[in-house]
Amino acid sequence: MRIGTAKVSREIDKVCIEKLKIPGIVLMENAALKVINNIKMSEINSFVIVCGKGNNGGDGFAIARHLHIKDKKVQVFFIGNPEALSGDCKTNYIIASNLGIKICKLNNIEDLDYFRSCISASEMVIDCIFGTGLTRKVEGIYEQVIGIINENSRNTLSVDVPSGINSDDGEVMGICINAHNTVSFQLYKRGFLKYSSNKFIGKVVVEDIGIPKEVIEEICPKEFVLHEDFIKKAIKPRDKHSNKGDFGRALIISGTEGFTGAAYISTETAVRSGAGLVTVLCPKDIQNILSCKLTEAMTINFTQKEKIEEVMCKARAIAIGPGMGNNLWTFSILEQVIEKSKCPMVLDADAINVLQDHKDIIKKSSNTLVLTPHPGEMSRLTGLDIDYINENRIKVAKEFALENNVILLLKGYNTVITDGKTTFINSTGNSAMANGGMGDCLTGLITSFIAQGYEPLEATCISAYIHGYCGEKLSNEMFCVNAKHVMEYIPYAIKEIIE
C-alpha cells in the first residue's frame, strides 16, 4: 500500500482531472462503489450517512444512492447549505434528492435530538463529514455532530479518513470520529501511522479508485506499508534440487560473558529461518556454552585468525553487535570486519552504539550495511532527541540512510525500513513482544535472508514482517511472547505466509 499526504491526493486528483480528463465524478463513483463493496450487505440494513459540504460529502451522497438502489433504509444528514454546494458533491446531492432519499439538514442545536435518535436506531453510520480537505479546528455544529456519533453509534464506517483527523500528521483537530472501519482511497494516509491514530481509524482498508498506475508513479513518493501480499510475492519457494550451499553462509559475530543469550538467539534464528550454514564468532570463554546450546550452527572464537578469515570470505551475510558490549574492543572488531568483509552486514545493538562518534566508518564502507536501531540507539547515533525521533520517524530514518549510505530499520511502533529512496513501514508485531532478545532474533532473521540471496532491503522488509507476524500470532494464545517462541515459530510462519 502506498503512503501519501493530502497534498499528494490533491495532485493525483489534478493530474487525473485536468491532464487526463478523467471527470472527478467518475473517481467519486468508483470511490462510492468501493465503500459499498466493504459493507456486509447481508447483515446491515439501516444506515445513517452524515455528509459535509466537500467531496467527502459527495462520496456520501453517492453511497446513499447505491444503498437506496439496494433497498436499504438510508437516512442522510447534511451539515451546511445546499445552495452553496458545488461540483461533484452538488451533482450527487441532486441525484440523491431526485431519488427521494431523505436528506435532513443539520444546522442548529434543535436538529440534534432527532439526529441522535436516528443514529441510535441505525445499524451503521457512514462518516462523510471531512476527508483530506480538513484545514482547521472542528468546532460548533461539526463538533457536536461528531460527539453524538461517537457516543451513540455502534458501528461507524469512515470514508477516506475519520472526520477530524489531520490526514498528514495524525493530529486530532479538536475532535475526531472513532471509526470501527475506515475505507481509504488509493493511499494509506501518512497520519494513520501515528501511534495515537490507532484509536480513531479502526480497521483500515485502502481501495483503488481507478487512478492510472503512471499517475501514481509520477506523483507519489516511494513510501509503502508492508502487506502480506508483498511478502508472499517476495519469498521465493525453495527449489527441491537446491543444497545447503545455495541457501548461503551466515556469520554472526556476537556475545560476551553474561551475554551468551544474544549470540544464541541471533544464531539460532538464522538457522531456523533457512540459511544454509551458520557460524557464530564469539569470545573463547563463552564458546563452549554456545557449542552446547547450538546444535546445527558452528562456533569459532576470536583467537582462530585463519578460520575467521576463511569463514568471513565464504559468508554471504554477516551480523555483528548483539551482546558484544559498548566498548573499544567492539569498535575495533567492527572496524576490521567492515574493512575486510565483502558481503552485506547487519549492525545491531553495540555495533550501533560504538558508532556514536565514528559514523565515518559506515559512510566509507563499500559493503551494504543494514543498521537496526531502536529509538534510544538512534538518538545516541544521531544526537537527536528521542521525542523528536518518535515524532518524525520517517523523516529521520530517510535522512540518516541517505546521508550515511545505509539501509536503516528504525524499531518501535510502525517500524521504518528505508535506504533513503524507498521506504517501507511494517506494522506487524505488538507489545506482547516487548522484552529482551527480540532484537537479536530480528538480526538473525535479516542476516539469514540476506545469506539466502535476497537483496538487503527486501530481506530487511521480509524479516521485519515475519518477526512481527510471529509475535502477533503467538500473542493470540500467550500473554507475552519471548524471542525463543518467535524463533521456534518462524519456519511455520514462513510456510503459512507463502501458502
Residues that bind ligand NPW (CB under 6 A): 9, 12-13, 27-28, 31, 52-59, 130-138, 142, 159-160, 185, 209
Contact partner, 350, from ligand NPW, K ion, none, Cβ < 5-8 Å per class: none
Query: CB of 299 within 8 A of CB of 287?
Result: yes
Question: In whole angstroms, how close is the CB of 380 to ligand NPW at the nearest point?
Answer: 40
Nearer to ligand NPW, 96 or 317 (CB): 96
Question: In whole angstroms, how close is the CB of 65 to K ion at the nearest point?
Answer: 18
Q: Contacts with K ion: how many residues (CB under 5 A)? A: 4
* Closest to 134 (Cα-Cα) out of 163, 104, 174: 163
Which triple of cell numbers denotes residue 82?
Answer: 445546499
Among positions 55, 75, 150, 163, the unique one binding K ion when judged by CB under 5 A: 163
Contact partner, 132, from K ion, ligand NPW, none, Cβ < 5-8 Å per class: ligand NPW
Question: In whole angstroms, how close is the CB of 79 to ligand NPW at the nearest point?
Answer: 8
Contact residues for 495 (Cβ-Cβ < 8 A; gap 6+): none
Nearer to K ion, 177 or 226 (CB): 177
Report the C-alpha gap between 277 and 255 in whole angstroms: 19
Report the C-alpha gap between 430 and 474 in whole angstroms: 10
Contact partner, 67, from ligand NPW, K ion, none, Cβ < 5-8 Å per class: none
Report the C-alpha gap between 152 and 125 in whole angstroms: 10
Contact partner, 59, from ligand NPW, K ion, none, Cβ < 5-8 Å per class: ligand NPW
Among positions 29, 127, 268, 377, the unique one binding K ion when judged by CB under 5 A: 127
Among positions 91, 156, 158, 181, the unique one binding K ion when judged by CB under 5 A: 158
Nearer to K ion, 60 or 255 (CB): 60
Question: In whole angstroms, how close is the CB of 216 to ligand NPW at the nearest point?
Answer: 11
Question: In whole angstroms, how close is the CB of 128 to ligand NPW at the nearest point?
Answer: 7
- The region of 111-119, 127-135, 418-426, 489-497 touching K ion under the rule CB under 5 A is 127-135
Nearer to K ion, 184 or 415 (CB): 184
Question: In whole angstroms, how close is the CB of 375 to ligand NPW at the nearest point?
Answer: 31
3-state SS of the chain?
CEEECHHHHHHHHHHHHHHCCCCHHHHHHHHHHHHHHCCCCCCCCEEEEEECCCHHHHHHHHHHHHHHHCCCEEEEEECCCHHHCCHHHHHHHHHHHHCCCEEEECCCHHHHHHHHHHHHHCCEEEEECCCCCCCCCCCHHHHHHHHHHHHHCCCEEEECCCCCECCCCCCECCCCCCCCEEEEECCEEHHHHCHHHHHHHCEEEEECCCCCHHHHHHHCCCEEECCHHHHHHHCCCCCCCCCHHHHCEEEEECCCCCCHHHHHHHHHHHHHCCCCEEEEEECHHHHHHHHHHCCCCEEEECCCHHHHHHHHHHCCEEEECCCCCCCHHHHHHHHHHHHHCCCCEEECCHHHHCCCCCCHHHHCCCCCEEECCCHHHHHHHHCCCHHHHHHCHHHHHHHHHHHHCCEEEECCCCEEEECCCCEEEECCCCHHHCCCCHHHHHHHHHHHHHHCCCCHHHHHHHHHHHHHHHHHHHHCCCCCCCHHHHHHHHHHHHHHHHC
- Neighbour-count burial of 421, counting CB atoms closer than 10 A to its CB (0-12 exposed, 13-18 middle, 19+ buried): exposed
Nearer to ligand NPW, 209 or 338 (CB): 209
- Note whether 273 binds K ion by CB under 5 A: no
- Note whether 9 binds K ion by CB under 5 A: no
Contact partner, 58, from K ion, ligand NPW, none, Cβ < 5-8 Å per class: ligand NPW
Question: In whole angstroms, how close is the CB of 8 to ligand NPW at the nearest point?
Answer: 9
Nearer to ligand NPW, 177 or 317 (CB): 177
- Note whether 260 binds K ion by CB under 5 A: no
Nearer to ligand NPW, 159 or 334 (CB): 159
Nearer to K ion, 163 or 330 (CB): 163
Nearer to ligand NPW, 36 or 497 (CB): 36
Contact partner, 158, from K ion, ligand NPW, none, Cβ < 5-8 Å per class: K ion
- The region of 150-158, 236-244, 393-401, 458-466 touching K ion under the rule CB under 5 A is 150-158
Question: In whole angstroms, how close is the CB of 67 to ligand NPW at the nearest point?
Answer: 17
- Note whether 197 binds K ion by CB under 5 A: no
Contact partner, 163, from K ion, ligand NPW, none, Cβ < 5-8 Å per class: K ion
Nearer to ligand NPW, 78 or 465 (CB): 78
Stated length of the chain: 499
Q: Which residue is nearest to K ion (CB)?
A: 163
Contact partner, 138, from ligand NPW, K ion, none, Cβ < 5-8 Å per class: ligand NPW
Angle between helices 456-475 and 483-498 (to 10 degrees): 110
Question: In whole angstroms, how close is the CB of 68 to K ion at the nearest point?
Answer: 20
- Note whether 181 binds K ion by CB under 5 A: no
> Which residues contact K ion by CB under 5 A?
127, 158-159, 163
